[in-house]
Amino acid sequence: MGERWTRRHGGVCELRYHLVWCPKYRRPVLEGAVAERLEALIREKVAQMGGEVLALSVQPDHVHAFLRVDTPYLSPAEVAAGLKGYTSRVLRREFPHLRSRLPTLWSRSYYVGTVGQVSQETVERYIASQSERR
Would you please indicate which residues are annotated as catalytic (active-site) residues? 126
CA distance linking residue 63 with residue 128, whole number of Å: 39
Give SS3 for 13: strand
Q: How many CB atoms lie within 10 A of CB 7?
A: 10
Q: What angle do CA 114, 4, 40 make, to 5 degrees?
A: 70
Strand order in the sheet with 62-69: 51-59, 62-69, 16-23, 106-115
